Chain A
């Protein structure tokens, strides 16, 4: 039952991902991307990683794709420009072959050299609860993930600083005029 469901979801995921990179209209690509994110979340739920699925929906569908859509809506003419149509068939085939070769190689490697590490991990895969993740995030032993993540705030501060420095000139010009 769950095997069939997995194959259905995986097929739809592959089709949607293909659409996301190949559709001529960029807004349609964004919609396909939303679909593929939601199906990825469904796969996470099948793997019993509930928190990851919810975070996937919350961050990607509710956050990142909304920002992408806002950017697409703010730019004009993106809905009609068919840049993919200008790529020649020869390029499509050659790049498709390279990607296919790499993918087949990876598949061969993982099926032939199934490492003991991978098997062990899949054998004892227990459902991870939110509580366990929370403890790992904040505990003093084997944890400290939150302080590590907070360091990335520095990057945000740097970005905001750059914007502030860049804005000063514009304000001065406004005062002069």
Chain B
């Protein structure tokens, strides 16, 4: 916990970073930033491939199938084959579509995912940037994704796309409020809005994680975060925006080749980002789950933080996939009443109870 001031300002202090700093003391800031950006781009691309394969495998096993098996061992190379296919596919533009908007729209959600990946705290020194208002940054950038969907739906010159985009927009805007209120609860408890500081505020045993703090409030708000983020991601049971039976595929009906790939890519990486934020806010981020027994804790501490981070995150990703194959799709009015009549009042109540617990000193 004894970090010097410079270390908290520039989290990019690691082996490679220090080496670059020793070799090129003057341009180290620039080189380190560039290296970090390249790392984020590589990580994001790899994650998309892994998540797409994982989704197909998990869904197959839920339905007692095998899923992709032909390409590589148990279909490991399947995302690569899909990617090559999508790159060489022709990008079709519907007649009467607005060219500029049509080509701009898929880039916005992708940009948003890259921007959010830059501030996720993967480990003590594995974070590209740590703005003091990290939570605000996350909420603001996710607006870009909504813009991308709306523009895609409009520019496709297709009624079904437009309907899908309007549904997606309305849904994402309304559930963002719930998400913001849950994040606000955690910001209030930890007393900081920077993601790294939020993780550091959960240092200690497993019972110091925010999910187990506050009698019952932590676990309730965690469950509500899962619901709200599933809706924010437009995943089943909230995938009205692309309900196949009603809207063919919603806002990305008219996209082919890389345009479609960008939406698909952003959707899957956003799932990872939501899970990573849940890990950061509730599950102690990169901290090992110490249980207070003398001979087990050191063994848990040997495992590096980013492995714990990815482990917890992929557990939550699995929960998202589990939801998808368990619940049927909601109607649009059910969705809206869930948000505005149940989630929002409950969130406000939780926030107030959290404040009361803070004043009483029960928060720990």
Contact = CB atoms under 8 A, between A and B. Distances in A.
Interface of A: 25, 27-28, 31, 34, 50-51, 54-55, 57-58, 61-63, 65-66, 69-70, 72-74, 79, 129-130
Chain A contact residues: over half helix, strand or loop, or mixed?
helix
Given A65-B147, A69-B150, 17 more contacts: A25-B98, A27-B101, A50-B131, A50-B133, A51-B132, A51-B133, A54-B131, A54-B133, A58-B143, A62-B141, A62-B144, A62-B176, A63-B173, A66-B146, A66-B147, A73-B165, A73-B166
A31 B136 contact: no
A69 B147 contact: yes
A28 B154 CA distance: 12
B285 interface: no
B139 interface: yes
Contacts of B317: none
- Most chain B beta-carbon neighbours within 10 Å: one of A61, A62, A79: A62
14 contacts: A25-B98, A50-B131, A50-B132, A54-B136, A54-B140, A58-B143, A62-B142, A63-B143, A66-B146, A69-B147, A69-B151, A70-B166, A72-B154, A130-B193
Interface of B: 98, 100-101, 104, 131-133, 136-137, 139-144, 146-147, 150-151, 153-154, 162, 165-166, 169-170, 173, 176, 193
A57 B143 contact: yes
Contacts of B141: 57, 62
Contact of A70 (B136, B139, B150, B176): B150
Contacts of B139: 58, 62
Contacts of B165: 73
B166 A58 contact: no
A34 B147 CA distance: 9
B129 to A, nearest CB: 11
Contact of A31 (B131, B140, B151): B151
B359 to A, nearest CB: 14
A65 B143 CA distance: 9
B144 A79 contact: no
A66 B131 contact: no
Nearest to A63: B143
Contacts of A31: 101, 104, 151
A163 B176 CA distance: 24
Contacts of B151: 27, 31, 69
A73 B154 contact: yes
B140 A61 contact: yes
A148 B25 CA distance: 50
Contact of B132 (A65, A66, A69, A130): A130
Given A31-B101, A50-B131, A66-B150, A73 B162 contact: yes
Contacts of A79: 98, 154
A129 B166 contact: no
Nearest to A59: B140
A27 B98 contact: yes
Contacts of A69: 147, 150-151, 154, 169
Contacts of B143: 57-58, 61-63, 66
A130 B98 CA distance: 41
B169 A57 contact: no
A57 B100 CA distance: 23
Contacts of A27: 98, 101, 151, 154
Contacts of B137: 54, 57
A69 B151 CA distance: 8
B133 A62 contact: no
Contact of B133 (A70, A73, A130): A130
Nearest to A133: B133
Nearest to B105: A31
Nearest to A57: B140
A151 B112 CA distance: 35
A134 to B, nearest CB: 9
A162 B284 CA distance: 47
